[in-house]
Amino acid sequence: MHLVNLGMPFPRDEYGQFFGYQTDNDPRPRATSIGPYTSREMCLMLLKRVRELGIKIGEGENVIQLLTTGEDDRKRAVGAIVMKQDGSLAAYGAENIVFATGGPGGLYKTSAYPEVHTGAISLALMAGAKAQNLPESQYGLASIKFRWNVSGTYMQAIPRFISTGAGGLSEESEFMGDYFSSASEMCSLIFLEGYEWPFDARRVINGSSLIGILVYIETVIKGRRVFLDYRHNPEGFSFASLNKEAHEYLLKSNALLDTPIERLRQMNPEAIKLFQNHGIDITEEPLEIAVCAQHNNGGLAGNIWWESTNIKHLFPVGEVNGSHGIYRPGGSALNSGQVAGFRVAEYIANRYGDRTVAKTDVKNSIKNAINYIGDWIEKCAGAKRTWQEERGEFRERMTLAGANIRSSAAISRAVSEAWAQWRHFEASGCAFSSPVEKVEALRNRHLCFAHAVYLESILFEIQSGVGSRGSSIVLDKKGIPIHEKLGGEWSLLPENIEFRDCVLETVVTPEEKVQHEWVPRRPIPREKTWFETGWARFRDGEIYD
């Protein structure tokens, strides 16, 4: 209702009820929407309110380091170092930090996150904040020229998948048909990929997520490019050969039309306009896609008030808070972020409203951080590799080894290479040529660190024997063959369901040692509070203890 009161026009019926739809990984229709720009409009409404309240916004400033004081259970956040667009440094002292930096979109070569969104969980990891379930991310087919998930009607229109050489539209191949015994099987799975997006370990064998594996093989393993062609049907396509579910859906949608673009226009005309608004006309040209990182279900560990479990006064909210589970219902991070905003504000007002941090501690922390950053920037003057080359290296590594297709051997190599890159990066820096690029160089520093920590956590999970779950699979020749037309190396380890009762906690020590621990997951509270006693606890402020 807060968003509605701010002006979000969420749909409702004549009785005033807000109705919803069933989104990915959700068994019930709990989601609502105002179209493809829902999250953008939410941000605009909230930003408008912030400005109405006169809250200062540090535009054009990039946080490059969090500041903390104390050790162990006395450790707390006290501020941040930022770099301005002209390349100068500034510092903020703070009693509390609300850390709403989103997911780690900048870690991957193929990413559905907006290009400007790199994420900054790495700043908290470098500060020693505890994380949980870092290996659990969500991946799915998405366009890469303009980053957008190609779920729903984009797949239900049953486009043609084509593969080309790395240089462009040459060596064209309709590769998907090589893996299926019939066009009927292939087209039905393409349709189901719209229903069952994103990539899901449970739907790899004889399921729609096989589509994602075949795209991964073409793009990552073979180094080719994959496109969706809405102008032509897949080879061998016919409505009569579709499975019952696909045929009935298209029939009820009045979409038994000749080509994919006609079917898409009938079911969702806005889907075509969306790409046209970004310079891509899918009525005239194919749409380039890949399997992309889409959401990090893990993140920083927080308590019921969203405060970091080991750094006081630090509040990770939204996607960066690792509370979204193995199978995250679509939109839950947006919802969680809204709830967190209220919960954090309430807690700070009732427990952290007074200034308690010593100014001398803040000044010492600022001085140490700026000296360290200054020394590192000086190293960059002699660096041989550019910031673009450094970023390209760790992004390539994450997409190859740390995305939806994983194996013990590949991850082990990746971890070794990641820390080697980080050590070289810390010792030598990276080349940049302008104040704007200086910001990117410093962003590289924390992103490179994060990718090593993420890979470490994935390796630990694999070595623990968790197996394939969520939006990633673990390959092992001793596992279950995925498909008869794929080699023996394409066999997956099944999930070990015992780990459903555990949460993987990860923390980096001051000595840069990465520590992992499986801890029991918190049960959902079943308390039935007696009104009189509950009211007394609320009046006395005991709920914040």
Among candidate residues 231, 260, 294, the one where a domain is terminated: 294
Same structural domain, 35 and 106: no
Same structural domain, 309 and 266: no
Residue 17: inside a domain:
yes
Find the mean pLDDT for residues 448-468: 98
Same structural domain, 431 and 457: yes
Distance from C-alpha of 321 to C-alpha of 311, rounded to nearest angstrom: 14
Distance from C-alpha of 163 to C-alpha of 489, rounded to nearest angstrom: 22
Same structural domain, 171 and 246: yes
Same structural domain, 324 and 271: no
pLDDT tens by residue, 137-152 = 999 999 999 999 999 9
Helices (H), 277-407: 332-351, 359-380, 387-401
Same structural domain, 252 and 125: no
| Residues in a beta bridge with 384 | none
Among candidate residues 264, 294, 324, the one where a domain is terminated: 294
pLDDT at 475 over 90: yes
pLDDT tens by residue, 158-182 = 999 999 999 877 789 999 999 999 9
pLDDT at 30 over 80: no
Residue 153: inside a domain:
yes
Residue 308: inside a domain:
yes
Same structural domain, 354 and 251: no
pLDDT for residue 53:
95
What CATH number does residue 342 fall under?
3.50.50.60
pLDDT at 36 over 90: no
pLDDT at 119 over 80: yes
pLDDT for residue 338:
80
Q: For residue 161, what are its two tokens?
A: 């998948």
Residue 351: inside a domain:
yes
Distance from C-alpha of 103 to C-alpha of 436, rounded to nearest angstrom: 22
Residue 191: inside a domain:
yes
User: Amino acid identity of 3?
Assistant: L
pLDDT at 21 over 80: no
Same structural domain, 401 and 456: yes
Residue 527: inside a domain:
no
Domain span at residue 334 reads 61-136+297-520
Same structural domain, 130 and 176: no
Residue 258: inside a domain:
yes
Lay out the sheet containing 287-296: strands in order across.
148-149, 137-143, 287-296, 225-229, 160-164
Residue 545: inside a domain:
no
pLDDT for residue 171:
86
pLDDT tens by residue, 184-206 = 999 999 999 998 889 999 999 99
pLDDT at 331 over 90: no
- pTM of the entire predicted model: 0.95
Find the mean pLDDT for residues 107-118: 95
Among candidate residues 255, 274, 294, the one where a domain is terminated: 294
> String of b and e for 446-460 (b: at least 16 CB within 10 Å)?
bbbbbbbbbbbbbbb
pLDDT for residue 237:
97
pLDDT at 437 over 80: yes
Find the mean pLDDT for residues 428-435: 96
Same structural domain, 340 and 484: yes
Instruction: Answer whether 127's CB lies under 8 Å from 201's CB.
Output: no
pLDDT at 74 over 80: yes
Where are any strands of DSSP class E within 386-526? 405-407, 473-481, 491-492, 502-508, 514-520
Domain count across the chain: 3
